Amino acid sequence: MNTFEYDANPGRVIFGSGSIKKLPDEIRRLRLSSPLLLTTPRQANLIDLLESVLSSSSPSIKPAGTFTKATMHTPYHITQEALSYVQTITADCIVSIGGGSTTGLGKAISFNTGLPHISIPTTYAGSEMTATLGETKDGHKTTRHDRKILPGTVIYDVDLTTSLPASISATSGANAIAHAVEALYAPNGNPITNLLALEGIKALAESLPQIIQDPTSQPAREEAQYGAWLCGTSLGTVRMSLHHKLCHVLGGSFNLPHSETHTIVLPHALSYNAPAIPGAMAKLASVLPGSDGDAIKGLNALLEKLRVKRGLKEFGMREEDVQSAAEIAAENPYANPRQVDLELVKELIRRCWAGEEARADF
């Protein structure tokens, strides 16, 4: 076995149906009492749920305020508005509830203020398990990595995911799989991360098609949430590569939707790196149903089952943007197992734009 280093991220996880009811106990455990409640405009009704849980279980815990403007790709101006709001209240912690947009803003506020962060995910985004913060400013998305960014507690309550539409569940789950796939060939990967990644991919690859068939299936929802947790954890311990660089560029510079972009890029980025990662390809194929030993075939088959859109043009990207996207991605690339070649990356993005099925011919 090769030598390696493994840094486990600190954090506490509360998992299970109805676990949101444990939120008051968790706030008390931290010796806190005045949370800032955080979500997006579309999920503002979840604030009512949090307030109900807090008021019925612990009259000593009273929200210091609410902020419902969390936005995709964590725009800098929204973060600044939230930080200004925090200065007007007496919050001693943050409770974020929602998907990656809410988690991202919660991480930004926590990092800038030092307030403890309790994250309650309602999708399979996985951001709650990484110490990475991606922020968008002036059309560019940048990332920073710091242990202080990581939420201190994550509450996974499957009941909060049962109303997630099947189509959003599919792309959110594929986004989680993308985290783990990239972790398999990360430059600082290790056997422990690989175990987490493969188990997470397996759980999602088996549960997501079931959710498409029956979005109310509790066992499938639990398996998907478990898988997303592991996928996020695996990415949270390694460095990101070409896949995430492309998605940061496409999301931050062209305002493409987060999970849908990850879903589309996933098999093509893997195809690009395939010649340099035969071991990771074999491991991935072993946990993808119907792969027949071919990881790219397995991913294509899974995305077909999930009935997801495969072309960035379906989300508003213009063909003339392909060149500039490739240039931005190649200008300052993340560490990657295969050299980042501008013309090949341009072809990769073109295939993503056109919605072509991934093929191993890079």
For the beta carbon of residue 7, count every other beta carbon within 10 angstroms. 12
The residue extents of the domains of the chain are 12-160, 166-354
> Quick one: pLDDT at residue 11?
85
304 has pLDDT over 80: yes
Mean pLDDT of 62-73: 95
CA 106 to chain centre: 14
Q: What is the pLDDT of residues 313-352, one digit of tens each?
A: 999 999 999 999 999 999 988 999 999 999 999 999 999 9
1 has pLDDT over 80: no
Distance CA 278, CA 292 (A): 15
> Quick one: pLDDT at residue 279?
96
What's at 159, amino acid-wise? D
Least confident of 125-139, 166-180, 276-290, 346-360: 125-139
Assigned CATH for 166-354: 1.20.1090.10
8 has pLDDT over 90: no
Average pLDDT, the chain: 95
> Quick one: pLDDT at residue 154?
98
Q: Are 20 and 53 contacting, i.e. CB atoms less than 8 angstroms apart?
A: yes
- Provide the pLDDT confidence category of residue 141 given band limits of 50, 70 and 90: confident
Distance CA 145, CA 135 (A): 12
What's at 140, amino acid-wise? H
For the beta carbon of residue 112, count every other beta carbon within 10 angstroms. 15
> Quick one: pLDDT at residue 173?
97
Q: What is the pLDDT of residues 198-236, one digit of tens each?
A: 999 999 999 999 999 999 999 999 999 999 999 999 999
Instruction: Tell me the Cα Rg of the chain.
Output: 20
Backbone angles phi, psi at 40, to 5 degrees: -100, 165
Q: Are 47 and 185 contacting, i.e. CB atoms less than 8 angstroms apart?
A: no
> Quick one: pLDDT at residue 296?
97
Name the β-bridge partners of 98. Answer: 121
Instruction: Tell me, yes or no, if the two domains 12-160 and 166-354 fold the same way.
Output: no
139 has pLDDT over 90: no
Q: What is the pLDDT of residues 87-137, one digit of tens each?
A: 999 999 999 999 999 999 999 999 999 999 999 999 998 999 999 998 999
CB-count exposure of residue 318 (10 Å: 0-12, 13-18, 19+) = exposed
Q: What is the pLDDT of residues 241-273, one digit of tens each?
A: 999 999 999 999 999 999 999 999 999 999 999
58 has pLDDT over 80: no
What is the pTM for the complete model shown? 0.93
Name the β-bridge partners of 97. Answer: 120
47 has pLDDT over 90: yes
Mean pLDDT of 164-168: 95
> Quick one: pLDDT at residue 2?
78
> Quick one: pLDDT at residue 5?
86
> Quick one: pLDDT at residue 356?
97
Assigned CATH for 12-160: 3.40.50.1970
> Quick one: pLDDT at residue 44?
92
> Quick one: pLDDT at residue 212?
98
Distance CA 8, CA 14 (A): 17
143 has pLDDT over 90: no
Q: Are 353 and 311 contacting, i.e. CB atoms less than 8 angstroms apart?
A: yes
Q: What percent of the chain has pLDDT over 70?
A: 100
Burial 128-143 (b: 16+ CB within 10 A, else e): bbbbbbbbbeeeebee
